[in-house]
Amino acid sequence: MSGNETKTIAILALQGVQLLDVSGPMDVFAEANTQAGREAYRLLVASRSEEAIRSSSGARLLPDIVIGADGGEPVDTLLVAGSPNAAVTEPDAAVLAWLKRVAATTRRYGSVCAGAFVLAAAGLLAGRRVATHWAVADRLARAYPDIAVDPDAIHIRDGRLRTAAGVTAGLDLALALVEEDLGRDIAMRVAAQLVMFFKRPGGQMQFSRREEALPAGRSALQELQRWVVANPAERHSVASMARRLNLSPRHFARLFATEVGVTPAGWVEAARISVARRLLETGQNPPKQVAAACGFANADVLRRAFMRHVGVTPADYRRRFTPED
Q: What average pLDDT does the segment 180-189 reach? A: 94
pLDDT (tens digit per residue) in 74-96: 999 999 999 999 999 988 999 99
pLDDT (tens digit per residue) in 129-141: 999 998 899 999 9
Contact yes or no for 102/10 (Cβ under 8 A): yes
Using 50, 70 and 90 to split pLDDT, how confident is the model at 60?
Answer: very high
For residue 286, give the nearest of 323, 318, 321 by alpha carbon: 318
Least confident residue range of 49-53, 124-128, 207-211: 207-211
For residue 249, give the nearest of 270, 232, 259, 263 by alpha carbon: 263
- pLDDT reported for residue 206: 59
Q: What average pLDDT does the segment 112-131 reach? A: 96
Q: What average pLDDT does the segment 43-49 reach? A: 95
- pLDDT reported for residue 216: 84
- Whether residue 321 has pLDDT greater than 80: no
Neighbours of 235 (CB within 10 A): 10
Least confident residue range of 9-13, 31-35, 228-232: 228-232
Whole-number average pLDDT of the chain: 90
DSSP per position, 72-85: ----SEEEE---TT
- pLDDT reported for residue 248: 95
Phi, psi of 239 (to 5 degrees): -65, -45
